[in-house]
Chain A
Amino acid sequence: MSTELVHPLSKYLRAAMMPHIWCSGCGNGIILNCFVQAIDELQMDLNKLVVVSGIGCIGRVAGYANTNSFHTTHGRPIAFATGVKLANPELEVVIISGDGDLFAIGGNHFIHAARRNLGVKVICANNFNYGMTGGQQGPTTPLEAFTTTTPYGNIEHPFNLVHLASASGATYVARWTTLHVRRLTQSIKKLLQKEGFSFIEVVSPCPEIYGRQNKMRTGLEMMEWFRRASVVEHFSDPAKAEITREKIVVGEFVDTKKPSYEKLLHEKIAQVGKEAGKWGEQCAS
Chain B
Amino acid sequence: MTKKGTVLEGVHFMNGDVACAEGAIAAGCRFFAGYPITPATEIAEHLSQRMPEIGGIYIQMEDEIASMAAVIGASYAGLKAMTATSGPGFSLMQENIGLAVMTEAPCVVVDVMRGGPSTGQPTLPGQQDVMQAKWGSHGDYEIIALAPSSVQETFDLTVEAFNLSETYRVPTILLADEVVAHMWEKVVIPPAEKIKIVNRKKPNAPPQEYMPFMPDDDLVPPMACFGEGFSFHATGLTHDEHGYPQTSSSEVQQRLVSRLCDKIRKNAEKIVRVQGVMLDDADVVVVAYGIVARAALSAVRKARERGIKVGLLRPITLWPFPERHVAKIAEKAKAIVVPEMNCGQLVREVERAAKETPVVFLSKLGEDPHTPTEILEAIRRNSQ
Residues of A within 8 A of B (CB): 14, 16-17, 46-48, 50, 52, 60, 62-63, 66-73, 76, 79-88, 90-91, 108-109, 112, 265, 268-269, 272-273, 276-277, 279-280, 283-284
- Asked if residues A272 and B53 are in contact (CB atoms below 8 Å), the reply is yes
Q: Does B5 contact A (CB under 8 A)?
A: yes
- Asked if residues A73 and B244 are in contact (CB atoms below 8 Å), the reply is no
- Asked if residues A72 and B33 are in contact (CB atoms below 8 Å), the reply is no
Q: Which of B61, B63, B234 contacts A70 (CB under 8 A)?
A: B234
- Asked if residues A79 and B52 are in contact (CB atoms below 8 Å), the reply is no
- Asked if residues B61 and A46 are in contact (CB atoms below 8 Å), the reply is no
Rounded to whole angstroms, the CA-CA distance of A46 and B233 in the bound complex is: 13
- Asked if residues B52 and A76 are in contact (CB atoms below 8 Å), the reply is no
Rounded to whole angstroms, the CA-CA distance of A273 and B67 in the bound complex is: 24
Q: Which of B33, B59, B62, B76 contacts A109 (CB under 8 A)?
A: B62
Give the chain B neighbours of A73 by CB distance below 8 A.
69, 95-96, 98-99, 236
- Tell me, rounded to whole Å, the shortest Cβ–Cβ distance linking B69 to chain A: 4
- Asked if residues B244 and A91 are in contact (CB atoms below 8 Å), the reply is no
- Asked if residues A88 and B66 are in contact (CB atoms below 8 Å), the reply is no
Q: Which of A16, A79, A85, A276 contacts B242 (CB under 8 A)?
A: A16
- Asked if residues A68 and B75 are in contact (CB atoms below 8 Å), the reply is no
Q: Which of B55, B63, B227 contacts A48 (CB under 8 A)?
A: B227
- Tell me, rounded to whole Å, the shortest Cβ–Cβ distance linking B226 to chain A: 4
- Asked if residues A80 and B227 are in contact (CB atoms below 8 Å), the reply is no
Q: List 10 A-B contacts (CB under 8 A).
A: A63-B233, A73-B96, A82-B70, A83-B73, A86-B59, A87-B79, A87-B81, A273-B54, A273-B55, A276-B3
- Asked if residues B236 and A90 are in contact (CB atoms below 8 Å), the reply is no
- Asked if residues B233 and A72 are in contact (CB atoms below 8 Å), the reply is no
Q: Does B373 contact A (CB under 8 A)?
A: no
Residues of B within 8 A of A (CB): 1, 3-6, 30-31, 33, 51-57, 59, 61-63, 65-67, 69-79, 81, 95-96, 98-99, 103, 226-227, 229-237, 242, 244-245
- Asked if residues A272 and B52 are in contact (CB atoms below 8 Å), the reply is yes
Q: Is the interface of A mostly helix, strand, loop or mixed?
A: helix
Give the chain B neighbours of A81 by CB distance below 8 A.
73
- Asked if residues B244 and A16 are in contact (CB atoms below 8 Å), the reply is yes
- Closest residue on chain A to residue B81 by CB atoms: A83
Rounded to whole angstroms, the CA-CA distance of A127 and B202 in the bound complex is: 41
- Asked if residues B53 and A87 are in contact (CB atoms below 8 Å), the reply is no
Having A63-B233, A87-B30, one finds 12 other A-B pairs with CB under 8 Å, namely: A16-B244, A63-B244, A72-B99, A76-B96, A82-B66, A83-B73, A83-B76, A84-B76, A269-B56, A279-B3, A280-B3, A284-B3
Q: Which of B57, B76, B96, B227 contacts A86 (CB under 8 A)?
A: B57
- Asked if residues A76 and B231 are in contact (CB atoms below 8 Å), the reply is no
Give the chain A neighbours of B231 by CB distance below 8 A.
46-47, 66-68
Rounded to whole angstroms, the CA-CA distance of A67 and B3 in the bound complex is: 42
- Asked if residues B237 and A71 are in contact (CB atoms below 8 Å), the reply is yes
- Asked if residues A112 and B5 are in contact (CB atoms below 8 Å), the reply is no
- Tell me, rounded to whole Å, the shortest Cβ–Cβ distance linking B156 to chain A: 25
- Asked if residues B55 and A80 are in contact (CB atoms below 8 Å), the reply is no
- Tell me, rounded to whole Å, the shortest Cβ–Cβ distance linking B245 to chain A: 6
- Tell me, rounded to whole Å, the shortest Cβ–Cβ distance linking B236 to chain A: 6
